[in-house]
Amino acid sequence: MKDIARRAGVSQATVSHILRGRHGDFRISEGTAGRVLQMAAQLGYRPSALARNFQSHRAFSLCLAVGDLTDSFWSGVATGAQQEAERHGYTLVVSNTGEIEEKERHAIDLLRERRVDGIILCPIQQKPAHLKELRASGRPFVFVDRTVDGFDVSSVVTDNIAGMRMAVDHLVGRGHRRIGYVGGPIDRSTFRDRLKGYRQGLAAHRLHPGPYAVAPSEPEAARQAAMRVLGARPSVTAVIGANFWLTVGTLRAAPDDVVVVGFDDLVLTDLLRRPVTTIVQPVEALGREAVRLLIDDITHPGPPRHLVLPPKLVVRGGAGE
Amino acid sequence: MKDIARRAGVSQATVSHILRGRHGDFRISEGTAGRVLQMAAQLGYRPSALARNFQSHRAFSLCLAVGDLTDSFWSGVATGAQQEAERHGYTLVVSNTGEIEEKERHAIDLLRERRVDGIILCPIQQKPAHLKELRASGRPFVFVDRTVDGFDVSSVVTDNIAGMRMAVDHLVGRGHRRIGYVGGPIDRSTFRDRLKGYRQGLAAHRLHPGPYAVAPSEPEAARQAAMRVLGARPSVTAVIGANFWLTVGTLRAAPDDVVVVGFDDLVLTDLLRRPVTTIVQPVEALGREAVRLLIDDITHPGPPRHLVLPPKLVVRGGAGE
DNA sequence: CGGGCATGCTAATACGTTTTAGCATTGACT
DNA sequence: AGTCAATGCTAAAACGTATTAGCATGCCCG
């Protein structure tokens, strides 16, 4: 920038003004502006983002801290988030929490060191001590997918209750009366809501809840839980899995004559031994909206906002007889 | 830092030295060091990464620019890369190129603006004009998964030739003599090498190449290509798909009595209508090693290095009769 | 002809670190 | 007493940008 200034015969401040495109606000003649711009182009000038970040106290980057990027749910969220971040001139840093509190902390440290301007966090429940700290520090963050009780922070989640009701409605509409449920630990808001949706759905049809088992989100435990559900009498004609891995476990356990409906989409469904109807979450939109909320909070701090996005029922046959 | 200095009654330079842990190099008494450290803790001092980056001309972050994070191959690479980056105190920025040159350019701009210290790039072949520019700019980058002809840049790739030979060996060992191949466009080094491996494998067994078709890495085109291969006379008893989507297309086209072997792993193989043996790439290692190479190049510039990692054959039955 | 005002620009500072060169003090030794 | 080295620290510059306040100049108007 100094070079440009010297060669264009103006001050460095002027160059800055022109390059920032503010020669409207500041009184700078077209001639000078043109000269400077041309000089800049000629010298192949690239502004130093490092200096700019430093001076503006902003890193222009956001962190997405989620459990497992390998999971198609999170890679979808990441993709949406990345696109939206890029649209706004931000960079997206990914961080794997692996659902481990200590690593979540590490991600948060990024924010506190100012290496990122804000965090999109998929909170690991349990003890939100460091979340309190984080909020106290006044740095922006939003929740995605899950929320934390008693923590009024902006969030973007799927409408889990509605989604699960759709699943139940679908099955009931196909004649099922006895519907089992393989759920996840209810210390996660998602699983709480899905269970609620399941119950509400059944109640709306004046049906009793079917057998219900809980397992951590992991296929083998899920399979065992599904076995318990399937072993219950009177026996079920359909089982719902409350998330991807729970559905996988259920599929592994369920005989062909039991219909399985899953929360979270499966891939390559046409190659599966049987079709599986699923509730699919708007994964990329979750990422996109989380970024929007976060950037909004960074640039115009305000009260927390909560977005609830609708999922979709994708019928793949297999729920009918 | 000024605060600490004032309150501890020392200069700000001293504080810096102590905080950087260099009171070994510089002659600073234990007493002062302790006092400063304690002050820092007490004031909850957090160094500003922004200032540090600025001053050191480094962003301590790397960019991973790949085609599609949603693809399990790339999300695996990203996970490995993220972990390794974190281990070294770097942050990983993701960028989706979507296999579009213009977006690749955008990722490269990140580097040139110094928002990242280096790029891990999965190059989109065609015209490497901007790659030349990039190399000319002297900024570090490495290739992952693919290489570009005549471009001697550090790279980490899977041993595609060996992988494909393993696939052929496996099939031949199971008695197959007529093996078809659904490959990808050979303007990608990966597909070139895999085709080479396929041919070498057959030649090693004194077999003639079977029918061969090329399709872009996309399931419908792949299915059609597979149909052509399957329609050839004399007919094949096995077909190899040269990557994930090509395998998926092949699976969709192939009747049950034709064995399909895939390059790239499939998920949930136990739920598929039939077992599929695959060549699985060391995805996380690709990411990890790429990061290592890149950081190494950043900190100790040297001649390009090329890593070739071995894939694994995962037999899932289904290749036998 | 002087006061006021618009125009076009500049000087200087700040941002928070790291780093280089060097200063003051003390004690040991000749 | 004077020299030398070691010890423990500090002053100051540098990194590249954004910003704030203000300075010249010329013109209009009364």
Domain boundaries, chain B: 2-47, 58-158+284-309, 160-281
- The third-level CATH classification (topology) of the domain covering A2-47 is 434 Repressor (Amino-terminal Domain) (1.10.260)
Q: Please tell me the class of the A58-158+284-309 domain.
A: alpha beta
Q: Is the pLDDT of residue B283 over 50?
A: yes
Question: Is B276 within 8 Å of B247 (Cβ atoms)?
Answer: yes
- Kindly report, residue by residue over B224-247, the tens digit of the pLDDT: 999 999 999 999 999 999 999 999
| Contact (CB<8Å) B272/A270 | no
Across B87-109, average pLDDT: 91
Distance, Å, B216 CA → C14 C1': 55
Q: What is the pLDDT along chain A (321 residues), one digit of tens a residue?
A: 889 999 988 999 999 999 988 766 777 888 888 999 999 999 999 999 999 999 999 999 999 999 999 999 999 999 999 999 999 999 999 999 988 888 888 899 899 989 999 999 999 876 778 888 889 888 999 999 999 998 999 999 999 999 999 999 999 999 999 999 999 999 999 999 999 999 999 999 999 999 999 999 999 999 999 999 999 999 999 999 999 999 999 999 999 999 999 999 998 898 998 989 999 999 999 999 999 999 999 999 999 999 999 999 999 975 444
Q: Please give the pLDDT value at position A319.
A: 42
**Chain B residue with minimal CA distance to A95?**
B82
Q: Please give the pLDDT value at position A99.
A: 85
How far apart are alpha carbons B120 and B209 in whole angstroms? 35
From A315, A311, A314, select the one nearest A160 (Cα to Cα).
A311
Distance, Å, A13 CA → C13 C1': 12
Q: Please give the pLDDT value at position A24.
A: 67
CATH superfamily label, B160-281:
Response regulator (3.40.50.2300)
> Does residue B234 have a cis peptide bond before it, meaning omega lies within 30 degrees of 0?
yes
Residue with more model confidence, B116 or A31:
B116
Across B176-194, average pLDDT: 96
Per-residue flag: B288 CB under 7 A of strand D: no
Partners of B309 in the β-ladder: B158
Let me know if the fold of B58-158+284-309 is the same as that of B160-281.
yes
Which chain B positions have a beta carbon within 8 Å of A91's beta carbon? 61, 93, 110, 115-116
Q: Is the pLDDT of residue B126 over 80?
A: no
Distance, Å, A27 CA → C4 C1': 19
How far apart are alpha carbons A287 and A276 in whole angstroms? 25
Q: Please give the pLDDT value at position A127.
A: 73
Q: Is the pLDDT of residue B217 over 50?
A: yes
Question: What's CA A286's distance to the chain center, in Å?
Answer: 5
| Contact (CB<8Å) B252/A270 | yes
Which chain B positions have a beta carbon within 8 Å of A271's beta carbon? 248, 251-252, 272-273
Burial class (CB in 10 A: 0-12, 13-18, 19+), A132: exposed
Per-residue flag: B233 CB under 7 A of strand D: no
Q: Is the pLDDT of residue B281 over 80?
A: yes
